[in-house]
Amino acid sequence: MASNNPAAIQTRELSKRYRRVTALSEATITVPEGRISALIGQNGAGKTTLLRLLAGLARPTGGEVAVLGSPLSQAPAFLADIGFLAQEIPLYRRLSAEDHIFAGAHLNSRWDGAAARQRLESLGIPLDQRVGTLSGGQRAQLALALTLAKRPRLLLLDEPVAALDPLARRQFLAHLAEAVADGGLTVVLSSHLVADLERTCDHLILLAASRVELCGDIDALLAEHQLLVGPRKDTTAIERDHTLVQAVRTARQTTLLIRRNGPVVDPAFETADVGLEELVLGYMGQQAGPGPAHLTAIGEDQ
C-alpha cells in the first residue's frame, strides 16, 4: 500500500452517544483504499453504528472522520461515492426491482442499471415482481445489486450475507472480491460469520462493547498474535512481557492468546499460529468472560 494514498476511511476518536447508551466510543480506525475490511463484533458492539456514521446517516457526537478524504456530508457529491446497505434491507415493497433500478437512475449521476439488471437476471430474480413478494435472499441480492449499480468508491455493507444461503453467500463474496480487484473500490462489511470473511477480507476491524479492539491488516494482526499452550498455571512472566488477550485455564493445561512483544522464550509453552476465528473469539472472550457464552455469539444468525 502506498502510504501517500489517502485512506478510504480515517477516524479519530469517533464517538456516538444516544441519550443513555454509548454506541461507539472513541473509535480510531484506518482503512486503506482497495481493501475489503471485515467489521466483526457481537450484537450491540457498535458495528451498525459505525457503518451508519460512515454513510452519513447518523451524526457523530464526538471525534473526527474523513471518508474518501472528505468530512461527512449530505451533499450529492459525497453520497455518490458511498454505497450503503442497511441490515434490514430497506426497499420499497410495492415497487418492482425494475422500478428500483429506474429510481436509482433518477437519483444518481453515476448509475450502472444494465449491470444490476444483468446480475439479477443471472440470479433468476424477477425484475417485474413487487419486491414485497420476493424471498429474503432475493431481496438481499437486489439490494446488493442496487448498491453496486451506484458504482461507489466505498461500499459499506451491514450484514450483507445474513439473508443468503451458503452458496449465494460464497458467490456474492467472490463477486465483491472481483469488484475490488478491478480497482477503485474499498469495502467494509460486517458479519457474524468469521469463516466467510476469512476467505474474502484482508483487513479487520474488531469491535467489542462499543470500542475498537483491533484494526489493521489481517495477516499482520495474525502474525502479531500467538497461541501458547502449556501446563503451567503461573503466567505472570508472560503477562509482563506480552499483552495477554485471553487465558483459558483448565486443571491440566493453560491456553493463552497473546499479542507478542518480541519472541516467546518460555520452553514450558508450545506456540501455535493464530487463525482469524481464534483471534476474534479470543478478543470477544476477553470481553464476555470465560465460558461458552461467546461461542454462541459467533455464527449466530439474527
Partner 1 sequence: MTWLVWRQYRNQAYFAAAAIVVFAVVLLITGRQMASQYHSALSLCSASHHCGNLANTLVLGTPLLSVLVSLTVAAPCLLGIFWGGPLVAREFEVGTNQFAWTQGISRRRWLTVKAGWALLAAAAWGGAVSALVTWWSSPVNAIKHQNFQPAQFDIQGIVPVGYAVFAVALGIAVGTLLRRTLPAMAITLVVFTFVRLVVGQDFRSRYLTAVTETFGFLHRTGHHLAVPTGSYWLVSQGLVGPRGLVPTSQPNGSGVSVGSHGVSIPLSNMPSACRALIFRNPRGIFPCLTAHGYRGLFVTYQPADRYWAFQGIETGIFVLLAAVLLAVTAIVVLRRDA
DSSP 44: T
Task: State the binding string over 260-299 for partner 1 (x if CB under 8 A, else -).
Answer: ----------------------------------------
Asked if 219 touches partner 1 (CB under 8 A), the answer is no
Q: How far apart are CB 98 and partner 1 at their closest, in Å?
A: 10
Asked if 107 touches partner 1 (CB under 8 A), the answer is yes
Asked if 199 touches partner 1 (CB under 8 A), the answer is no
Length of the chain (residues) = 302
Looking at beta carbons only, is 27 or 55 nearer to partner 1?
55
Q: Which of 5, 64, 94, 121 binds partner 1 (CB under 8 A)?
A: 94
Asked if 47 touches partner 1 (CB under 8 A), the answer is no
Looking at beta carbons only, is 162 or 280 nearer to partner 1?
162
Q: Is 135 left (phi over 0), alpha (psi -120 to 50) or beta?
A: beta
Q: How far apart are CB 37 and partner 1 at their closest, in Å?
A: 18
Q: Beta-strand (E) ranges in the chain?
A: 9-17, 22-31, 36-41, 62-67, 82-85, 154-158, 186-190, 203-208, 211-217, 225-230, 243-249, 254-259, 270-272
Interface with partner 1: number of residues (CB under 8 A): 33
Q: What is the DSSP string of 208-229?
A: ETTEEEEEEEHHHHHHHEEEEE
Asked if 74 touches partner 1 (CB under 8 A), the answer is yes
Asked if 19 touches partner 1 (CB under 8 A), the answer is no
Q: Which of 22, 102, 175, 260 binds partner 1 (CB under 8 A)?
A: 102
* Residue 175: burial class (beta carbons within 10 Å; 0-12, 13-18, 19+): middle
Can you tell me whether residue 259 is helix, strand or coil?
strand
Q: How many CB atoms lie within 10 A of CB 153?
A: 16
H helices of 30-91, where? 47-54, 76-80
Q: Which of 14, 55, 157, 212 binds partner 1 (CB under 8 A)?
A: 55
Asked if 240 touches partner 1 (CB under 8 A), the answer is no
Q: How far apart are CB 300 and partner 1 at their closest, in Å?
A: 22
* Residue 286: burial class (beta carbons within 10 Å; 0-12, 13-18, 19+): middle
Residue type, 232: R
Please give the Cα distance from 267 to 288 (Å, whole number).
Answer: 30
Looking at beta carbons only, is 104 or 285 nearer to partner 1?
104
Looking at beta carbons only, is 106 or 240 nearer to partner 1?
106
**Contact residues: partner 1, CB under 8 A:** 52, 55-59, 74-76, 79-80, 82-84, 86, 88, 90-95, 99, 102-104, 106-110, 146, 150
